[in-house]
Every structure is written in structure tokens, then in C-alpha cells.
Amino acid sequence: MTTIERIKIIEASCKQVGRGVFFSTLIIVASFLPVFLLEGQEGKLFGPLAWTKTFILAIDAILAVTLAPVLISFFLKGKLRTDDHNPLNRGLERIYRPILNWCVTWRKTTLAINIVALLISIPLMLSLGSEFMPPLDEGTILFMPVTQPDVSNAEAKQLLQVQDKIIKSVPEVANVLGKAGRANTATDNSPISMTETIILLKPKDQWRKGLKKEDIINELNAKLQIPGVVNGWTQPIINRINMLSTGIRTDVGLKVYGQNLDTINALSNRMKQALTGLNGVKDLYVDPITGGKYLDIQVNKDAIGRYGLSVDEVNEVVESALGGMNLTTTVEGRQRFSVNARLAQDCRNNLEAIKRTLVQTPNNGPIPLSSVADIRISDGPAMIQSENALLRGTVLFNVRDRDLGSTVKEAQDKLNTLVKTLPKGYYIEWSGQYENLIRAEHTLKLILPIVLIIIFACLYFAFHSIREAFFSLISIPFALIGGAYMVYFFGVHLSVAVAVGFIALFGIAVETGIVMVIYLNDAMQQLVALRGNSKETITREDLREYVMNGAVKRLRPKLMTVCVALFGLVPVLWAAGTGSDVMRPIVLPMIGGVLTSSTHILLVTPLIFLMVKEYELRKHGKLEILEVKE
């Protein structure tokens, strides 16, 4: 073989697959369109994945049609051998050809098996739970209990110390750090009744045998059942993300809007009572908006008139004795601090001492404050929360031992009757991770039909045939079979991560289907060149022989594609480091889908192609052949 002949063969081969490579790349990029349109947390997490894969595929497509032929012309020299000389390829063909022959012979059985497998996967998918994102194990635990709004500083401090001591008694806990109230920042509005304790765990190889993180949380929760305290368990990073994105510090929050705090609090407690005992609902409590204790000092105007005092003079005494009088300002470098003076804590830490606070009168000397004012402790709002120009209360809970979607759905069903009887001007809104889940689902449902239309258009332009495009597109649901089985048997809930895995699988399935159809059409071109394009010269046996030869010709590159995908993805199943919780739901549908789509494309696609060509030959008297154009 001369150099010119070898280059012409390379050129013809590149033309044969060039169109398929280009449109396969375009289809994979189009399949990632839903990922590009994701918002919020999910968009920031999976956006870089989509962009990286898109850029890699774009460069890969350019190199495949430009650099690859040049490199082949340089290195593909000497004596060239056919596939039959490769012992591994011969062994695979010996296995593949009889199986394909059986499928072609028993057509109805083959199609029935695939359809039954597809039908079984549908209830499996419907039985799966749903969640926004798979929980990422941060390696630490955030304990966020809430106590009574009127707790004192001393009681909060003592409570924090007791809790930390109990937590440290668990062998898997390395260190404990807790705080009560707000931090030294204007962005932290935590009341003194809410404490935050960060629990650092020891490495997993130092844990008790068979223990999981959920078991540690359950053990800690059982030990920390303190009267007047509602426990809450989460993780530091996801807690901050939830609070910044939704204003809810738990997995799910039920926001109650209205005009009156007391009514909102009553409705919130009724909803909490309705949700108590619901499977999956943990750490359920009402964010306290009432129950705060206030020192209420009402000036008695008749009394101050008898003593010759004014309201302002009494208020000045209260301000200086209890609140503190600003005396001066101290300068320490760039910082300025005010210096205040007020009564000692012993004189203002109980109601009787405050009543004995002296007020100087013009004519009668000092008199107790209780002589000119009514002093009492009154209830009031612990913290006023508002949103959308309305007062707001929240019912908060986490979801454990169950998926988020079904838990919230059951909770909504239980509250339907109560919601219908809400007073006028009051309504509820579900928030937290569930809010993100609904947003992501809405985006995916909106864009997926558009993506399927784009993929179908790409297939049409690749083959210039609606029939070929349709039969290439039907490989997608059969690719979902393995993905659905893998997700089901590994017990993974449907989430944005699983959706991204299925989206990546779409592109792989269509790509491999395109190349298989190209090889089958190449076999048809060889048949037409040898026998002519007429039903008088082409028999059913000829069609069957050439379709099988075209499919066998595709065996080695197809298996190489599958092996590369599996070798890159399977190790993720055994990964145990940080981030594996998110990666595993992505690769599970891809691994299962690659296996079933490969089986479908190797066995069912040639069968369907043969049936279509037999129909064309019988109906039109000739075959419709895909012409490869430059």
C-alpha cells in the first residue's frame, strides 16, 4: 500500500465518522443545558462541572477531526492487520456474534425483555424518595438547642457547660466548643436562648465498631434530653448556607405570616402539634416569638404631681440607675468606647431591689421608685421577625431517616385542613431545603423538553432522516433502565446530583447510538455497492448478514467506550473521603446506564435497524442509505 492510498483510506474513515463526532459533541453539550440553568446552591456546585465537560468536549471534537487524522497518518504505518488478528477481539466476537444472532432470530422475545425491563424501572423510580441535595458529611456536628426566651445569662452559661460536658463523654467526640447568644458581629442576631455547639469528631478508624454518624447523633440526642430545651442537629456549613439562602436554620421551615404575634404564635403551636410524631420529622419546635420578659415601669402621674416631680425626672433616674448614664468616651487607638455608670448588679437584679431605687424629690427628700411608678414583669415578644412587610413566625424541623420530599408531602397533607381555616390575612409558606428542591425541580421540568427537542434536531441534521433520528433517540429510555436500577438498589434518593448523573448519561447514550448507526449504514453501503439497491437483488439473508457484520465491526470501539467510562467511574463507589456523598449519586446512574445502554445498542439497535431496512425494502423496493458528505 502506497502512502497516497493509505492517506485516502484515513481521509475516507475520518469523513465517515466526522459528522457523528461533531453532532455527538453538540448533543452532549445540549444535554447539559439544564445544569447551566440551575440557580442558587445547586448552580454553584454543578455549574463548574458542566462548563469543564463542555470545554473538554469542544476541544476534543476539534482535535478528533483535525489532529487525530494527522497523527494517524504519521504513526499508522507498516503492515496493517485486520481485527481478526487481535486475539482479544476474536474472543469477544465469538461471544458477541451468537448472542446477536439469537436476538435477531428471536426478535419479539428480545424486544419484550427490553420493554419489560423498562416498565419495571418506572415503578422503581416512582418509589424513590426525593431530596434537594445528598447530605454532605462535613466531619463535624452542629448542636443548636433552643430554650425558653426568658432564660438568664447565668442559666444559659450553666446550661451550655452541662451540655458540653455530656457531649464530651461520648468516645467519638474529640473537642466541643459552644457559645450562647450572638457573636461579636452585627450580622448575628441570635438570642441568648439559642446556643450553638460545634462538635469535632475523631477519625472514623477510632470510632466504635459498626457505628455511623447518625448513630452518634441519636446517642447524643438521647443523652441531652433536658427539660425546657428543644434539641436541633445539623452541620456548620450547611447550616450557614440554609440561613443565608432561606433564613431557616433547619432542613425545613414552615413560615406563618400574619398581622398579630399572638395569633401567629397560636397558629404555629397548632401546626407543631399536628406534625408531632410524623415519620421523619425530627427536632420539631416553634421559633419563639413570644414569652420574652420585660421590666415594665409605668409612671404614676398623680403620685409625681404630689411630690413635685415630672415624668422626665423619673425617666432620668430609671435610665441612670438601670440602663446606664453615659459619662464620657475613652479613646484606645482607632477605637472609641463609651463609659457608663449605673447601679451595682445586686441593686437591679430582682424586682424588689428595683422598687427600692431612690428618687430625689424637691421637698420630701429621697423616696423609693415604687412610690411614683408601677413596676412589674410583663410578657412580650422575644424577637420580632418580619418578611414581605408582614410579621412572621416559623415552625422548624429537620428530616432524618426519611427523604425530604415525601416527608414534606405528608406534612402538607396533615396541615391541609388547618390551612383552610386560617384567619383572613394569614397564610403559610414552606421554606428551607424544600424551597430549593421545588426551585430545582421546576427548572429541570421546564428545560428538559426543550433539550429533547434540541437533541432530536441534532440527530436529524446528523442523519437527514426523521426515522434514523427517532430510533437513535429511543436509546435514552433504555439507558435509564440501568441508572434506575443502580439508584434503587443503592438506596439513593432522587436529588439534583442524581439528575445531573442522568443528564450526563443522556449524552453518552445518544453518542454511542450515533456511531453504531453510522457503522450499520456503512454496512448497507457495502451491500448496495455489491448487490445494487433493489429488492430483486437483495434478500433478507443478505440484509441480516451485513447488519450483523456492521454491528460486530462496532464491537471493539463500543467496549472501549464502556470500559473507559467504567474504569473512571467505578472507583467513586468505594470512595470514602469528603465529597464522596455528592459524587456517588452522580456516578450511580451513569454506571448502570452505561451498562444497559451498551447492551441495548449492541443487541437491540442492530435488530431495530434490520427490521427498519426490511420494511423499507418491502415497502419501497429499495433501501434508504445514509450518505456520508464532506
DSSP string computed for 300-321:
-HHHHHHTT--HHHHHHHHIII
Gap between the Cα atoms of 561 and 81, Å rounded? 22
* Predicted local distance difference test score (pLDDT) of residue 628: 46
Gap between the Cα atoms of 535 and 129, Å rounded? 54
> What CATH architecture applies to the domain 294-380?
2-Layer Sandwich (3.30)
Torsion sign, CA atoms 235, 237, 238, 242: positive
| Contact in structure between 197 and 177 (CB atoms under 8 Å) | yes
* Predicted local distance difference test score (pLDDT) of residue 535: 77
Cell numbers of 273, please?
A: 402539634
Neighbours of 357 (CB within 10 A): 21
* Predicted local distance difference test score (pLDDT) of residue 594: 82
Q: Which ranges constitute the DSSP H helices of 276-310? A: 301-306
DSSP string computed for 142-169:
EE--B--TT--HHHHHHHHHHHHHHHHT
Q: Which segments within 153-307 are labelled E, that is strand?
A: 173-180, 195-201, 233-234, 252-258, 281-286, 290-299
Gap between the Cα atoms of 287 and 195, Å rounded? 13
The residue behind cell 467510562 is 565
Gap between the Cα atoms of 492 and 486, Å rounded? 9
| Contact in structure between 196 and 190 (CB atoms under 8 Å) | yes
Average pLDDT per run of 10 along the chain, which is 630 residues long?
76 72 76 79 81 82 80 75 71 85 88 86 83 80 84 83 90 88 68 83 87 88 87 85 78 88 87 88 82 83 88 88 86 87 82 86 86 85 78 87 86 87 88 83 82 81 77 74 86 84 78 77 83 80 85 77 76 72 82 83 85 82 64
* Predicted local distance difference test score (pLDDT) of residue 186: 62
CATH match of 86-127+464-629 with 1.20.1640.10: yes
Residues in the chain: 630
Q: Where are the domains of the chain?
A: 1-80, 86-127+464-629, 139-234, 294-380
Gap between the Cα atoms of 341 and 107, Å rounded? 95
Gap between the Cα atoms of 410 and 51, Å rounded? 38
In sequence order, the β-bridge partners of residue 381 are: 290
Alpha carbons within 13 angstroms on the beta-carbon side of residue 598 total 20
Contacts of 248 (CB under 8 A, 6+ apart): 242, 394, 396, 431, 432
Contacts of 333 (CB under 8 A, 6+ apart): none
| Contact in structure between 64 and 58 (CB atoms under 8 Å) | no
Backbone angles phi, psi at 250, to 5 degrees: -120, 180
Contacts of 277 (CB under 8 A, 6+ apart): none
* Predicted local distance difference test score (pLDDT) of residue 630: 40
- Whether 294-380 and 86-127+464-629 are alike in CATH topology: the answer is no
DSSP string computed for 423-437:
PTT-EEEEEEHHHHH
* Predicted local distance difference test score (pLDDT) of residue 188: 65
Distance, C-alpha 141 to centroid of its chain: 20
* Predicted local distance difference test score (pLDDT) of residue 393: 87
Contacts of 319 (CB under 8 A, 6+ apart): 325
* Predicted local distance difference test score (pLDDT) of residue 629: 45
Q: What CATH fold (topology level) applies to the domain 139-234?
A: Alpha-Beta Plaits (3.30.70)
Gap between the Cα atoms of 118 and 478, Å rounded? 7
Distance, C-alpha 62 to centroid of its chain: 33
Gap between the Cα atoms of 236 and 20, Å rounded? 48
Backbone angles phi, psi at 39, to 5 degrees: -115, 175
* Predicted local distance difference test score (pLDDT) of residue 438: 85
| Contact in structure between 365 and 242 (CB atoms under 8 Å) | no
